[in-house]
Amino acid sequence: MIPKSSMWLVCLFSLSVLWSIPTAVHGKKVQITQLNESNWEEMLQGEWMVEFFAPWCPACKQMEKTWEEYSGWAQDLNIHVAQVDVTVSPGLSGRFMVTALPTIFHVINGEFRQYRGSREKDAFISFIEDKQWEKVEAIPSWKSPSSTFMSIISFFFKLSQILRKMHNKMMEDYGIPAWGSYTIFAMVTIMIGALLGLLLVFVIDQIYPPSAGVKKSVQSKQKKGGKGGSKDSDVESDESDHKDDTGDLIDDRPSQSQSKQNKKKSRKAD
């Protein structure tokens, strides 16, 4: 018979072994680095395999065990195996233009390549061991997640998530209907746009103020316009005087014919 105290010791040892099983897979320790908005730049150094996933994604759940097993080979392959939860870090999903889940990227010294092979552990291992990533075209520099352009895209992704949370909060906590929330967002957007427009005009005026030469040219144009107006009035007055002279000539013609007729009449009378 085994003493009860020894049985308790055996049970405690068994429990400790079972507790350690989730952190080891087939003798390999799980080594998954969790990346987010604050530490994602760590992948710019060294070689990485990064999975983008979401807790609600069925395909991600199916690949979870495989990814854990693959992470156990990270030390042997001299790489880092990481994950990004897109629900926690929506800005990174925008930065990497993730449109499907799970999405896997291979990163080496700041060069990004999307992995499109099989989602099996052996395929992941051979992709690194055989350097199959060299056959995959790297993402262009302008579209690289570390570029300025993708940083702007990331900002708008984060902004959209913030606005979505505000929309849900107004509907759920304050009872505002959907159309009311959209109206508030529209009014705020118009006001912000108007303020930014005024600010932009002010900044441009401060950086590029109107020069003295422009003012002089405007004044000279105004003076020329005044002279032209006086010339036009002079021409019009000349035309009116000419019309009056011609009118006088027309009026004089009948008087000359009458004088001739009177002379003829006087001769006949003689």
Question: What is the per-residue DSSP string for 114-166?
Answer: EE-S--SHHHHHHHHHTTGGGGSPPPPGGGSTTSHHHHHHHHHHHHHHHHHHH
Q: Identify the active-site residue in 35, 50, 60, 74.
A: 60
100-114 pLDDT per residue, tens: 999 999 999 999 999
Give the Å distances, CA to CA, from 243 to 52, 165, 239, 250.
Answer: 92, 83, 6, 11
Judge whether residue 50 has pLDDT over 80.
yes
| More confidently predicted of 233 and 112 | 112
Active site residue 11: no
Q: Identify the active-site residue in 44, 57, 125, 138.
A: 57
Alpha helices (H) in the chain, listed in sequence order = 4-20, 58-71, 74-77, 90-95, 121-129, 148-172, 178-207, 212-269
75-109 pLDDT per residue, tens: 999 999 999 999 999 889 889 999 999 999 999 99
> Which of 55-64, 99-108, 112-121, 242-251 has the weakest average pLDDT?
242-251
pTM for this prediction: 0.57
The whole-angstrom separation of Cα 32 and Cα 225 is 79
User: What token pair was written down for 79?
Assistant: 């790489």
Average pLDDT, the chain: 77
